[in-house]
Amino acid sequence: MSLRSYVIARILLTIPMIMLLLTFVFLVVRVLPGDPASLHFEKQVSPEMLLDFKRRLGLDKPLIVQYFEYLVGLLRGDFGKSMQDFSPVSQQIFSAFPATLELAIFSSIIMVSVGVVLGVQASRSYNSARDHSIRVFGIASYAIPVFFLGEVVIMIFAIYFHLFPAGDRIYPGMAPTGLTIGGLHWSSGLFVLDSILEGNPTKLGVSLRYLFLPSLTLGTVLCGIFIRLTRGNMLETLQLDFVTAARARGIKETTVVYGYALRNAFLPILTMMGLQFAALLAGAVLTETTFSWPGLGRYLVDRISFRDYTAIQGVVVFFGILVAMVSLAVDIIYAYLDPRIRF
């Protein structure tokens, strides 16, 4: 099957999955408790006030109509209106999302680097104490609740040792402004990128300092699977002929391992990154709350305490679509890189 047909088939598969997800979320929010509007007010509220509230949010229409409006709205990028002040949820999602994206990117960097390096170390000293302790670490790190690790990290690095800050994303006045050409501004919302575009090394340094602890926490908790993956892959690869041949030719061991053997693991690691993206987002929700990181996860948690069900629905749907898109992208890249996998 050619690449093109694979891509088309894959996209066609994604569509029903997304539809199912959207429907599922819709049902959860509308059908489960019966009526999100009344739930928002808890108990007593005058019937007129309730009806008016529902009307402003479009919740007074029959379920089928609501469902179609919901789907059509999503196509236009409308994620609903917040129950708190009727402002569009999409606006708030897009203002909070870059922070989460930046956290996800840097956590992935740590997750993969720590996982791969440890996995390689484990495979090279097969069955030694080092191997076993790394494997135990891999399992144990997943058993730690990410917010507990975050709290511990805050205690140690921010409070006792004053090495890194542990709240918010940047301190006042330091937010990078991004690219400025003529009178036009453009900023991505990713502070590291923006400070590079602005050409401001101080801001870059500050952004990284604030990013470090949350990314370290989230990356550590999820690296276990990469350790296992790399270790398994390396154990197999290091026995193959071409590795023995390279060694025989006198190539340095580190080059053999990192240059030749690791390439084999590249694709599985890439796939695993795609699979782990969902876990990354889930972990981000908890990490952002722990570190007061102003991203989408913390926005979701805030909305929960305000019983803003429409906003919760919007965020959950956004997450779902995001995950579907990412896994689609990963599958396509994988198919492009590995001719063997074409359905």
Partner 1 sequence: MKLHLNKKAITRMQGIGIIVILVVIAVVGIYATLPSPGPGPTTTTSAGKGKFVIDWWYESSGHYPQSADQAAVYKAQMERTGIITVNLHAADWPSYKKNRDAEMMPVYVYGWYPDYLDPDDYVFPFLHSQGGGWLHMNYKNPEMDKLIEQARAISDPTQRDQFYQQVQKIMVDDAAIVPVFQSSAWAVTKPDVGGVVLDITQNMYYWLITPPAGKDTLVVGTTDSVETNVDVAEAYDFFGLNVVLNTGAGLVYIKPGSGAGPNDFTPGLATSWNASADGLTWTFDLRQGVKFSDGTVFDSSAVKYSFDRSLSLYLDDSSQAGIGYKDIIDSVEATSKYQVVFHLKIPFAPFLSLMAFQGSFIVNPKLAPMDKAVNYVEGDAHASNPNDLGPYLLSSWSRKAGKDYEMKYDANPNYYGIADGYPKTQHIVIRFYSDATALALAMKSGDVDMAFRQLASSDIKSLQADTTVKVWQGTGAFIQYICFQEKIAPFDNPKVRQAIAAALNRQELVDTVFLGQAVPLYSMIPNGMAFHQDAYKILGDANITFTVSVLQELGYG
Partner 2 sequence: MKNEKLQGRIVVQLLPQLRNLRQRGLAGWAILIGAAIVAAMAIMTVTSPWIRPYDPIVINVGPILSPPSAQFPLGTNHLGQDMLSRVYSGGAIMFQVAVLSVIVCLVVGVPIGLFASYLGGYTDKVASLVMDSIYAFPGLVLAIAIAAMLGPGVVNMALSIAVVYVPSYFRIIRSQVLTIKELPYVEAATIMGAKSRTTLFRYILPNVIPSIVAIATINFADAVLTSAGLTFVGLGLPVSTPDWGWDLTYGRRLLPSGAWWVIAFPGLMVVLLALGFTMMGEGLSELFNPRLQK
293 binds partner 2 (CB under 8 A): no
Q: Which two tokens stand for residue 49?
A: 């006030």
What dihedral do alpha carbons 291, 296, 302, 306 form, nearest 10°? 180
Least Å distance, CB 163 to partner 2, is 15
Least Å distance, CB 44 to partner 1, is 4
Least Å distance, CB 177 to partner 2, is 31
Q: Which does 234 bind (CB under 5 to 8 A by kind): partner 1, partner 2, none?
A: none
The residue count for binding partner 2 (CB under 8 A) is 53
Site for partner 2 in 176-205 (CB under 8 A): none
> x/- contact string, 13-52, with partner 2 (CB under 8 A)?
---xxx-xx--xx--xx--xx--x--x-------------
Q: Which stretch binds partner 2 (CB under 8 A): 48-56, 118-126, 254-262, 298-306?
A: 298-306
82 binds partner 2 (CB under 8 A): no
86 dihedral zone (left: phi>0; alpha: psi -120 to 50; beta): left
What DSSP designation does 207 have? H
Least Å distance, CB 154 to partner 2, is 6
Site for partner 2 in 202-261 (CB under 8 A): 228, 232
| Close Cβ partners of 273 (under 8 Å, ≥ 6 residues apart) | 108, 112, 330
Q: Which does 85 bind (CB under 5 to 8 A by kind): partner 1, partner 2, none?
A: partner 1
Among residues 102, 327, 331, 335, the one that binds partner 2 under rule CB under 8 A: 327
Among residues 53, 79, 106, 147, the one that binds partner 2 under rule CB under 8 A: 147
Among residues 139, 163, 325, 337, the one that binds partner 2 under rule CB under 8 A: 139
Report the alpha-carbon distance of residue 91 to residue 103 in Å, rounded.
20
**Toward partner 2, which CB reaches closer, 208 or 278?**
278
Least Å distance, CB 178 to partner 1, is 16
Report the alpha-carbon distance of residue 158 to residue 145 in Å, rounded.
19
Q: Which does 96 bind (CB under 5 to 8 A by kind): partner 1, partner 2, none?
A: partner 1
**Toward partner 1, which CB reaches closer, 75 or 184?**
184
Q: Give 26-31 contacts, CB < 8 A, sequence gap 24+.
A: 26/66, 26/67, 26/70, 26/313, 29/309, 29/310, 29/312, 29/313, 30/63, 30/66, 31/63
**Toward partner 1, which CB reaches closer, 87 or 125?**
87
Torsion sign over Cα 302, 307, 313, 316: positive
Q: Is 17 exposed, middle or buried (0-12, 13-18, 19+ CB in 10 A)?
A: middle
| Close Cβ partners of 341 (under 8 Å, ≥ 6 residues apart) | 334, 335
